Structure 1
């Protein structure tokens, strides 16, 4: 993981205004129909869906597996939820077979930024952690040894794979934890720094589903 980015607890007024204007511009044209299958709105580099090379014409449904190569990157919208999946990632969409509304994601490896609409609780799974979320912005990086999980805003309940430790995280602005595969310094979870994702990326994702992150409106 790269060196921590500076943690800024307060955005300047000019930056808040800029983010608000960016998020508000054109959102009416970007509202997705919740009854439609997931769509790939951006697609760069090598991206596979169920083992086949993907294009923006692909429709994404429950049980589909998305895999990105070293140069791969994509933005996916499913209903009220939007995701930025980074390079070298593998993600399974959870839900009833071929359903268009997801119940969660299984992050096998890689990195993902996600924003979730209010409604039913979603589950995010990795090799070392389970998280229950609703109406939340999150960022996660997953490997077999550990999961980096940032609650960018909202409420998340995180539990390690062995069910030894559970945390309820309520965040207004980037509260991160690392969840280990095994006890590390006597703990399964440790607080972490805000790294490898940006406020601008969160604004971009929320804009695509007609919303503004809560930290922008304050």
Structure 2
């Protein structure tokens, strides 16, 4: 188990992938053919739901399907894992987000995170973004962690891949092999709206778990090595 720093989150939230029922649910999902089979058989794309969540204001049931255009809200203690297209999402407790439609019903063009946090792995594609109150991240094929803190300070970690960041016109290009992290400030901090951050509130294993659901390996799995979780985005050599 890799080391991880916590800020306003509990160890239990980060270790959701270790739950026996989560492992069984993921194994069953893969054994049944994953998302292509679920779509062909018109089965749910929800891998697991723990606790209560709302889908467009109504209670989400595990057998329902989440589609682009839907709003998702999780309650206290909840955890939601679902897939749309070639992307996988794990939604933390007390989160509100929408997944907006791309070129097709099964393509996410925009994840709008209003509150809470989400871990997500995205297959290759174009014109997709994560929008938070103080920053926007244009993503390609990548794994990321996004969180909106109660004080509206936003946190974003490009765990691996390439991301274009924008905070009210202040831009940065992030190319990461191993966790490059940023704060999106609600107001200038020493003249900047995008400031460096450490890797907090998420783990390597979460990204690896979600990656397996969509047939993706993380950059550190491919390279066979890791770096420091100082937020710089580089591996040890």
**TM-score normalized by the length of structure 1:** 0.82
Please give the residue correspondences for 1:30-179 in structure 2 after superposition, counting only pairs within 5 Å: 30-33=33-36, 36=39, 39-95=45-101, 99-143=105-149, 145-160=152-167, 162-163=168-169, 165-179=170-184
What do the CA deviations read for 1:113-139 (whole angstroms, capped 9, x no partner)? Answer: 000001223111011111100100000
Please give the residue correspondences for 1:176-191 in structure 2 after superposition, counting only pairs within 5 Å: 176-191=181-196
CA RMSD between the two structures: 2.6
From the superposition, tell whether residues 49 and 208 of structure 1 become closer, same or farther in structure 2 (CA, over 3 Å).
Answer: same
Match in the other structure for 2:228? none
- Per the TM alignment, residue 99 of structure 1 is displaced from its structure 2 partner at its CA by 2.2
- Per the TM alignment, residue 145 of structure 1 is displaced from its structure 2 partner at its CA by 2.1
Q: Which shows bigger deviation, 202-211 or 139-148? A: 139-148
Q: Distance in 2 between matches of 1:35 and 1:158?
A: 34
Match among 3, 7, 15 for residue 2 of structure 1: 7
For 2:108, what is the secondary structure of its paired residue?
coil
- Per the TM alignment, residue 59 of structure 1 is displaced from its structure 2 partner at its CA by 1.0
For 1:174, what is the secondary structure of its paired residue?
strand
Flag as ranges the 4+ runs of structure 1 deviating above 3 A.
26-31, 34-38
- Per the TM alignment, residue 35 of structure 1 is displaced from its structure 2 partner at its CA by 9.5
- Per the TM alignment, residue 100 of structure 1 is displaced from its structure 2 partner at its CA by 2.6
Structure with the larger RCO, 1 or 2 (CA within 8 Å, 6+ apart): 1
Match in the other structure for 1:206? 211
- Per the TM alignment, residue 217 of structure 1 is displaced from its structure 2 partner at its CA by 1.9
- Per the TM alignment, residue 184 of structure 1 is displaced from its structure 2 partner at its CA by 1.4
What number of residue pairs does the alignment pair up?
Answer: 197
**TM-score normalized by the length of structure 2:** 0.76
